[in-house]
Structure 1
């Protein structure tokens, strides 16, 4: 049986070709032969959520027109940094992203779109185009293909069941000791049907009762893919989870922090670099100079990365010291306390399946699975802009002749974050602790993001202004005074529960 035949994407199954090969004629054929009644153009706006334009299917001629020429939209209502007197944009579909909408009351095909200006050129400040520019620059600089993937954490908030059977630690609990496994499993199936390269999901550690509601944490993990595809999958997955929350009459939230002393929700990004089909992060079971340069670049720019990774005041409650979230600027191997982590890999050519089943082991090579993980970001991150910002950091690592030395400076083998060669008590720096401080760091490092015309000045300026507008410079100290059961905390949670 071929990979196409078992692919869960409904359009891939029907058209018998990979999504990357979809053409305009393929989309039209699927719509005609499957009796699809509506075509929905989807796009991600400034707030990171999916927006929609609905087209009633009225005939082939109109389908050909809208699929080839797109539709006109008011860009000033989509991006606040565009002036109303020059904001008309073309919204143009990307065929490879087409999927059948699993929630629509009538048969519908949805498709993600990109923005083009009046001259027919990609909109320089469009998030997906910023990511494309970063990705192209990475290949131009290194000759390597970059892959990324996300781990998406979220909470399901519901009434407390009368016959509650839960464990205090929810990590990978199964029914009947978890409540919302059914929602998670349905999400996995629907994300896959919509084209998401989803690997697995499980219950996460967070499990607590607060003010008459139970909060249960879950996680979904994707497979490495082209960065743009990875970002596309992530926004669709978040939309599907929210729609399922509506279906199950529960709240699904990606808010970074709900209360002190309980796990927050992150959005961890993994990456790897390939050349001629080989993973360039490892060689003979050891990290390569490529790995170390990329790690050093991230950590060098990490204070400014928070401007794209942690975009709301409540993001910084998750990053508070003592909240079991990495906030020290350092990296380690298999160490979940570090900002950048090299996860346990399959680099020893072990045939563990044979060993576990008392069979003769064979030499196997799973080094292609080795990734490196950035653990500081959360659900408020726009996946296109943050992925682009990470790539900017990689490029800095490759351009800095001191990168390999810097990687040693940031390395820790323990949880104490003590630097080698420094006086006792001197520790690694920590990330910014407010949107305001992140804005200051982005201003300081902005030239790296604007280099090679990856981030337009308008995006950087707007990001700085928006972060400063939260006026949260004293939030952490005020929060310590108010406490996590205060009216102020309740208002903060309510404001950002569905912000991202």
Structure 2
């Protein structure tokens, strides 16, 4: 590991990189960075980055705060949109000599290792939706719709994001204008969930920086405007064993696909606070705006919580439509992997797939009405017991404080259908 890290440092220095941003992921899924000039960073690639864990939300207390973040040499991204002068290098935090259970990257790594010990490899890809807006409270700079050619107001931003996507190390992708005005979707390439989670963070950094260059805000707030579609983070999942995609079939879903769906639907309500983690998330989860409100699945059915893509009758994955871009992708993917693994191991059969518009269904389970309810379901659910107890306790603590901050100022029953100034302040530029 040390030699490999030093090799990466040499490559970055040779490429003209001037600064290294060592990334530590916090409990919200936000990047915290220690910035070093390239020459000074050499030792950090070998020995790790020492830092004050008590200053990272929920990591530690002031009396036990000396942590070391070790470099992951497979997680390096160059800031191409800023001339390639800086590189983002992801780390994993050690507590002593052991992986810290409060580091979300460690949590996801452990969930994936658990699946691999049982012979399964989970692969994930994510469709991230976001808005390009101006100001706070936000205004829409254009009024285009689904698959429209981006108008001049947003076109330069989108094109520059696309120009830098592969150059930054994120892989090949595509994008399009989404249903709402000034809303776009980009595909985070399919692969190892840890790499995909890292890529989401880098993409957010990049999109925000490029939008700001043109005087705009790229916001990943789930529901910045009432009365139109919010932004989802539709997560495509497949499960592999011995090099074979267990979900690949024609016409009819495989048994393994059904079991994974069963596991996810079985746990969907209890992991809602992880995949839809903000007060604002539950204003997205309302009927008739392409966000799921019923815990059901269907073939090619975008009103269902889990959709099986069914182009020409070919099947190779599932799409979990519950998550939104405010999620901590490491914790969210860990929860999804554990839920899917439960379905496979316990052979959980899902209910029959639905063909109807799911919003009209009665007598089926529904998504929690708000973050407060979602946190109670999480606390009582099985996946919370499968994740490290330290991070679950910390996560519930920060999210319950977030919910209390909202309800001290607003009544949910009176504000569930409006976007408040508190939400813009909390989420417009931070998630």
Fold conserved (TM > 0.5)? yes
Match of 1:174 in 2: 149
Q: Does 1:433 align with 2:408?
A: no
CA deviations 1:416-440 (Å, max 9, x no partner) are 5677xxxxxx421111111110111
With over 3 angstroms needed to count, the CA separation of the structure-2 counterparts of 1:179 and 1:343, relative to structure 1, is: farther
Larger Rg computed on CA atoms:
1
The answer as to whether partners of 1:45 and 1:78 remain within 8 angstroms in 2 is: yes
Q: How does 1:101-500 map to 2 (within 5 A)?
A: 101-104=79-82, 107-118=85-96, 120-141=97-118, 143-158=119-134, 170-175=145-150, 177=151, 179-207=153-181, 216-345=182-311, 370-401=316-347, 403-404=348-349, 407-409=350-352, 411-416=353-358, 426-445=362-381, 447-451=382-386, 455-469=387-401, 470-471=403-404, 475-479=411-415, 484=418, 489-500=420-431
CA deviations 1:304-333 (Å, max 9, x no partner) are 111101111111111134544211110111
With over 3 angstroms needed to count, the CA separation of the structure-2 counterparts of 1:444 and 1:398, relative to structure 1, is: same
Out of 32-41 and 249-258, give the one that drifted further.
32-41
Match of 1:17 in 2: none
Take 1:88 and 1:81, find their aligned partners in 2: how far apart are those partners? 11
Take 1:279 and 1:122, find their aligned partners in 2: how far apart are those partners? 31
The answer as to whether partners of 1:271 and 1:371 remain within 8 angstroms in 2 is: yes
CA deviations 1:404-458 (Å, max 9, x no partner) are 2xx125x211115677xxxxxx42111111111011101111x43333xxx2112
Match of 1:56 among 1, 13, 37: 37
With over 3 angstroms needed to count, the CA separation of the structure-2 counterparts of 1:39 and 1:324, relative to structure 1, is: closer
Alpha-carbon shift at residue 499 of structure 1 (Å): 2.9
Match of 1:15 in 2: none
The answer as to whether partners of 2:6 and 2:46 remain within 8 angstroms in 1 is: no
* Shift >6 Å, 4+ stretches: none
Alpha-carbon shift at residue 181 of structure 1 (Å): 2.4
Take 1:460 and 1:66, find their aligned partners in 2: how far apart are those partners? 30
Take 2:237 and 2:89, find their aligned partners in 1: how far apart are those partners? 26
Aligned residues: 422
With over 3 angstroms needed to count, the CA separation of the structure-2 counterparts of 1:347 and 1:276, relative to structure 1, is: farther
Out of 308-317 and 72-81, give the one that drifted further.
72-81
Take 1:416 and 1:265, find their aligned partners in 2: how far apart are those partners? 19
Secondary structure at the aligned position of 1:149 is classed as strand
Take 2:12 and 2:346, find their aligned partners in 1: how far apart are those partners? 51
Unmatched runs of 5 consecutive residues or more in structure 1: 1-19, 208-215, 349-366, 420-425
Secondary structure at the aligned position of 2:156 is classed as helix
CA deviations 1:160-207 (Å, max 9, x no partner) are xxxx996x65111114x4631221222123221122134211111111
Secondary structure at the aligned position of 2:426 is classed as helix
Take 1:25 and 1:66, find their aligned partners in 2: how far apart are those partners? 9
The answer as to whether partners of 1:412 and 1:418 remain within 8 angstroms in 2 is: no
The answer as to whether partners of 1:418 and 1:427 remain within 8 angstroms in 2 is: no
Alpha-carbon shift at residue 225 of structure 1 (Å): 0.4
With over 3 angstroms needed to count, the CA separation of the structure-2 counterparts of 1:69 and 1:179, relative to structure 1, is: same
With over 3 angstroms needed to count, the CA separation of the structure-2 counterparts of 1:346 and 1:229, relative to structure 1, is: farther
Take 1:312 and 1:499, find their aligned partners in 2: how far apart are those partners? 12
The answer as to whether partners of 1:439 and 1:463 remain within 8 angstroms in 2 is: no
Alpha-carbon shift at residue 103 of structure 1 (Å): 4.7
Take 1:414 and 1:294, find their aligned partners in 2: how far apart are those partners? 22
**TM-score relative to the length of structure 2:** 0.90
CA deviations 1:193-231 (Å, max 9, x no partner) are 122134211111111xxxxxxxx1001012210010110
The answer as to whether partners of 2:295 and 2:305 remain within 8 angstroms in 1 is: yes
The answer as to whether partners of 1:317 and 1:476 remain within 8 angstroms in 2 is: no
Take 1:397 and 1:280, find their aligned partners in 2: how far apart are those partners? 13
Out of 376-385 and 184-193, give the one that drifted further.
184-193
CA RMSD of aligned residues (A): 2.5
Secondary structure at the aligned position of 1:229 is classed as helix
The answer as to whether partners of 1:178 and 1:203 remain within 8 angstroms in 2 is: no
The answer as to whether partners of 2:292 and 2:321 remain within 8 angstroms in 1 is: yes
Unmatched runs of 5 consecutive residues or more in structure 2: none
Alpha-carbon shift at residue 347 of structure 1 (Å): 5.2
With over 3 angstroms needed to count, the CA separation of the structure-2 counterparts of 1:28 and 1:317, relative to structure 1, is: closer
Q: Does 1:28 align with 2:9?
A: yes
**TM-score relative to the length of structure 1:** 0.78
With over 3 angstroms needed to count, the CA separation of the structure-2 counterparts of 1:279 and 1:346, relative to structure 1, is: farther
Alpha-carbon shift at residue 301 of structure 1 (Å): 0.6
Secondary structure at the aligned position of 2:174 is classed as strand
